[in-house]
Amino acid sequence: MRVEEFIPTQQFKAIENGTVCCTAPSNIALVKYWGKKTHQIPANPSISFTLNNCKTTTILKYKVKPSKGLSFEVFLEGKPKEDFKPKIQQFFERILIYAPYLETHHFQIETSNTFPHSSGIASSASGMSALAMCLVQLERLLYPDSDAAFLKHKASFLARLGSGSACRSIEGGLVVWGKHKGISGSSDLQGLKFPSEVHAVFQDYQDAILLVDKGEKQVSSSVGHNLMHQHPFATQRFEQAHAHLDQLIPILKNGDLPSFIKIVELEALTLHAMMMCSDPYFILMKPNTLEIINALWAFRKASKIPVCFTLDAGANVHVLHPKKYASKVNEFISIKLANYCQNKHYILDSVGKGAESIEF
């Protein structure tokens, strides 16, 4: 789709006030998005598993107002959340051309997460995708002729402008974002449900999220993305991401887990290697991140269970494994790996279905 197709051409219906509600999950990238061009265009394609349990629910209340301009309030778990406002203001400004009704209504945004806000789990992916889903639900009412499939594309398109990785949280299962020559329909503008055949083992893959550090990150993802502009290894990295996606396509079809593990772990370590050799350099892993990785490698070697790790832009470790090994892996986590987590906290998650609207 082209950008222009997301700009409404008709006048929207007048609706005085109302409420919509949506829920959207977080996602975990297998091939990472790290580096972007202007207008939230990724420097390379990425692919992720949509999660099931780590979710944001957003209630959006809207009311027509007499004068034009952006006007909104934000609440997290029922309390006013002033520090969320700048990011939402920027989001609304970016999408105003695609959502002109933002200027004619006052909005009350009430959001809550199934995971603790300070857990280090990317709440921007689930938060921005839940908000984008709410906006297209409103759009469905304001433009009653809108097509449901178009609105799903638009939710992902809008979510990307809030936070890049959020565009991968609208659809379920495996989602690709960014143009890739081997994936028909892939686009820099929005996420696409991975269109090729996926082996049964990946349909219900498990992700145990080990909460190594729940504190605020020292370097935000936005700063990290920007550091890829002058990065000495940027070109090679972006080429590597394309190559990894090429290699993953047959692996996702045939369920070749050793090859899957090699790419996923290499992607995680490359992401952090990029951070460690940017200017300025920084480290988001903590000593316990490495303790977990080493313990996991020893467990995999001894048990022959095809379990692997990936990392987000933080110290937490995502332990990925097929469902049939969940009880053995979870036992290992509770006995051994939980000791490396802050307050022994971890979250058991799995591949989920994506964002949904909820009758309110």
For residues 187 to 226, the per-residue mask of contacts with ligand 2P0, x marking binding by CB under 6 A and - elsewhere, is ----------------------------------xx--x-
In angstroms, give the least distance from the CB of 28 to ligand 2P0: 7
Of 163 and 278, which CB lies nearer to ligand 2P0 in the complex structure?
Answer: 163
CA distances from residue 95 to 8, 64, 162 in whole angstroms, order as listed: 12, 19, 9
Stretch that binds ligand 2P0, among 25-33, 58-66, 236-244, 247-255 (CB under 6 A): 25-33
In angstroms, give the least distance from the CB of 223 to ligand 2P0: 9
C-alpha angle 258-264-270 in degrees, rounded to nearest 5: 130
Buried residues in 33-67 as b, exposed as e (16+ CB within 10 A): bbbbeeebebbbbbbbbbbbebbbbbbbbbeeeee
Of 300 and 318, which CB lies nearer to ligand 2P0 in the complex structure?
Answer: 318
Of 61 and 312, which CB lies nearer to ligand 2P0 in the complex structure?
Answer: 312
**Residue 90 engages ligand 2P0 in binding (rule: CB under 6 A):** no
Q: Which of 45, 120, 127, 164 binds ligand 2P0 (CB under 6 A)?
A: 164
Buried residues in 118-143 as b, exposed as e (16+ CB within 10 A): ebbbbbbbbbbbbbbbbbbbbbbebb
Of 21 and 176, which CB lies nearer to ligand 2P0 in the complex structure?
Answer: 176
- Give the integer Cα–Cα distance in Å for 140 and 145: 8
Stretch that binds ligand 2P0, among 50-58, 144-152, 158-166, 335-343 (CB under 6 A): 158-166
In angstroms, give the least distance from the CB of 142 to ligand 2P0: 27
The two tokens of residue 145 are 């002729």
Segments in 84-206 forming alpha helices (H): 85-95, 123-142, 148-162
Stretch that binds ligand 2P0, among 74-82, 162-170, 249-257, 332-340 (CB under 6 A): 162-170
Task: List the one residue out of 325, 337, 335 whose CA is nearest residue 290.
Answer: 337
Task: List the one residue out of 85, 87, 56, 58 whose CA is nearest residue 71.
Answer: 85
Instruction: Write the single-letter amino acid at 242.
Output: H
Of 57 and 221, which CB lies nearer to ligand 2P0 in the complex structure?
Answer: 221
Of 90 and 254, which CB lies nearer to ligand 2P0 in the complex structure?
Answer: 90
Task: List the one residue out of 222, 239, 217, 219 whose CA is nearest residue 281.
Answer: 219
How many residues bind ligand 2P0, per CB under 6 A? 16
**Residue 33 engages ligand 2P0 in binding (rule: CB under 6 A):** yes
**Residue 32 engages ligand 2P0 in binding (rule: CB under 6 A):** yes
The footprint of ligand 2P0 on residues 46-75 (CB under 6 A) is: 46
The two tokens of residue 337 are 């790996």
**Residue 289 engages ligand 2P0 in binding (rule: CB under 6 A):** no
C-alpha angle 70-71-74 in degrees, rounded to nearest 5: 125
* Neighbouring-strand partners of residue 76: 79, 111
**Residue 275 engages ligand 2P0 in binding (rule: CB under 6 A):** no
Query: Helix, strand, coil % (nearest 5) of the chain?
Result: 45, 25, 35
**Residue 313 engages ligand 2P0 in binding (rule: CB under 6 A):** yes
Stretch that binds ligand 2P0, among 30-38, 76-84, 182-190, 352-360 (CB under 6 A): 30-38
In angstroms, give the least distance from the CB of 58 to ligand 2P0: 17
CA distances from residue 217 to 19, 221, 284 in whole angstroms, order as listed: 34, 9, 7
Stretch that binds ligand 2P0, among 161-169, 185-193, 239-247, 338-346 (CB under 6 A): 161-169
- Give the integer Cα–Cα distance in Å for 325 and 306: 8
Site residues, ligand 2P0 (CB under 6 A): 29, 32-34, 40, 46, 124, 163-165, 221-222, 225, 271, 312-313
